[in-house]
Structure 1
Amino acid sequence: MKDRVRIFEGIHNFRDYGGYAARDGRLKEGVLWRSGQHGGATPADLAGVAELGITTVIDLRGDSERQTMPCLRHDEFDGLVLFAPGETAGSELAPHEEAGQGITTAAEAKAAMTKLYVNMPFRDVLIRSLTLYFEALATRDGASLLHCLAGKDRTGLAAGLLHRLLGVHEDDVMADYLLTNEAGNQQRRIAAAGESIRERYGAQITDEAIVMLMGVDADYLHTATRSIAERYGSTERYAEEVLGVDAARRAALRERLVA
């Protein structure tokens, strides 16, 4: 799994989420990339990203996040950056930042994160962003990059939806989601986020709680999956009725992404 990860100095959680066995073959490698934001990217980072031939970037962040931390791009980047205007997380904060309010312990952090996942698939602006994501994958050539702020919650949900629609085994869906907890320089990523979260909410938040906020847990994705099933019965029906991913679009995704 760690072979999927690209190590950059100022971009965290950068990895290939292709290559998994799917319903009709195997997801292509080198065309599906995911990461956190690129606001802290170094020139060497940007050059490394440029080598991947990315033609489409899907930014799942909200307007406030993009304004606070604009993503840097290589001077020669001429691809399309897609996003839906508004706040995809229901506020100006990323999910892990939102979950930090009023918590102190790791158990409280996990409970807050799990609660956020109940409604995450149904947030209006995120739905519009996910619709752009699936449309781009079904219609645009070249490699794509999917990212949010930390590249773990909104991005993890989106990647998991794609995997399931293409028939990736549930074990691989979850393994890819949980790779956030191992990808790249974890200490630097968690330390930077911890400083920001404590500045916002106070120094009482424990180190263990920060780790929980900045990581992912199987219960989070299971919660979103159950929430989708309770409302729509299946991921396929949710994707079709909410995101416009009908049979024709699923076929287009298979044609472009499965070898």
Structure 2
Amino acid sequence: MQDRVLPLEGIHNFRDYGGYQARGGTLRKGVLWRSGQHVGATEADLETVQGLGIGTVIDLRGDSERAAYPCLRHPEFGAAVVFEPGETASLKGAAVHEEMAREVVSERDAVNAMTALYERLPFRPVLAGTYRLYLRTLAENDHPTLLHCLAGKDRTGVAAALVHTLLGVHHDDIVADYVLTNTAGDAEARIAAGATAVRSGFGARMEDGAVRVLMGVRPEFLETAFAAIRQQYGSVEAYAEQLLGAGPDAVRAMEANLVA
């Protein structure tokens, strides 16, 4: 799994989420990329990313996050950047895991908060709007894409798992890709940076275990999101069609572009 990860200096959690067995073949490698934000990218990082030939960036952050953490770009960057205007987190300028840090002290508090977040995450209007653009991009293009939010783990994790599910990737592979966040790249540096952010914003009383929950992912979080999708829409396919505008024709187009 670590072979999927690009060892960049200033961009956390940058990795390929293709290469898995899917319905009718294998997801192409080198066309499905995911990461956190790029505000700390080094020149070497930008050279590496530019070399991937990315044609579209899907930015799952809200407007205030983009203003607070503007992504650095290579001088020759020419990709389209797509997003639904508005806020995808309820706390302006913060990632969704940070909005859940209020009143969290213990590890159990953090688990409960993140579970509550994932119950609602797939239905947030602005986020769903960007998910719609994401699926449309994959259906209409066969060039490499980059999917990211602030930390590249929650909004991005649900989005990647959604595409994996629609394309028939095995559940075990979906979960393995999701939890790779916990070990991808310099995870300890990412956790340390996150600890500073959540403690400065929400109090120094937060236990180390709680910080690790907020800055990581657990399989039960993803399971909670997809259980909520199935409860509300009956199936992931119905959710994609009814809320995100990606019906069977769009899924077949995604398969044609992504499965070999």
Runs (4+) of structure 1 moved beyond 4 Å?
Answer: none
| Aligned partners of 2:38 and 2:71 also within 8 Å | yes
Mapped to 2, the partners of 1:141 and 1:240 lie a distance apart of 21
Deviation at 1:156, TM superposition (A): 0.3
Deviation at 1:142, TM superposition (A): 1.3
Which stretches in structure 1 are left out of the alignment for 5+ residues?
A: none
Deviation at 1:141, TM superposition (A): 3.5
| Aligned partners of 1:89 and 1:120 also within 8 Å | no
Asked if 1:88 corresponds to 2:121, the answer is no
| Aligned partners of 1:55 and 1:141 also within 8 Å | no
Deviation at 1:182, TM superposition (A): 0.8
Mapped to 2, the partners of 1:59 and 1:205 lie a distance apart of 30
> What are the Cα deviations for residues 53-111 of structure 1, in whole angstroms up to 9, with x where unaligned?
11110000001100100011111111100111111123323111011111111111111
Aligned to 1:46: 46
Aligned to 1:187: 188
| Aligned partners of 1:90 and 1:123 also within 8 Å | no
Secondary structure (helix, strand or coil) at the match of 1:151 reads coil
Q: What amino acid maps onto 1:156 in structure 2?
A: G
Equivalent positions of 1:101-140 (< 5 A) are 101-140=102-141
Mapped to 2, the partners of 1:90 and 1:128 lie a distance apart of 16
| Aligned partners of 2:142 and 2:258 also within 8 Å | no
After TM superposition, the score normalised by the length of structure 2 is 0.98
Asked if 1:9 corresponds to 2:15, the answer is no
Mapped to 1, the partners of 2:91 and 2:63 lie a distance apart of 10
Aligned to 2:35: 35
Q: What amino acid maps onto 2:18 in structure 1?
A: G
Q: What amino acid maps onto 2:64 in structure 1?
A: S
Aligned to 2:78: 78
Q: What amino acid maps onto 1:15 in structure 2?
A: R
Secondary structure (helix, strand or coil) at the match of 2:55 reads strand
Q: What amino acid maps onto 2:210 in structure 1?
A: A
Mapped to 2, the partners of 1:91 and 1:120 lie a distance apart of 14
> What are the Cα deviations for residues 30-62 of structure 1, in whole angstroms up to 9, with x where unaligned?
000000000110111101111111111000000
Secondary structure (helix, strand or coil) at the match of 1:58 reads strand
> What are the Cα deviations for residues 114-147 of structure 1, in whole angstroms up to 9, with x where unaligned?
1000010100000100000001111123100000
Mapped to 2, the partners of 1:94 and 1:219 lie a distance apart of 20
Computed over aligned residues only, the root mean square deviation of the Cα atoms, in angstroms, reads: 0.7
Q: Percent identity?
A: 56
Mapped to 2, the partners of 1:106 and 1:73 lie a distance apart of 37
Equivalent positions of 1:153-164 (< 5 A) are 153-164=154-165
| Aligned partners of 2:34 and 2:156 also within 8 Å | yes
Asked if 1:18 corresponds to 2:18, the answer is yes
Aligned to 1:248: 249
Aligned to 1:62: 62
Secondary structure (helix, strand or coil) at the match of 1:34 reads strand
Deviation at 1:247, TM superposition (A): 1.0
Secondary structure (helix, strand or coil) at the match of 2:246 reads coil
Asked if 1:201 corresponds to 2:210, the answer is no
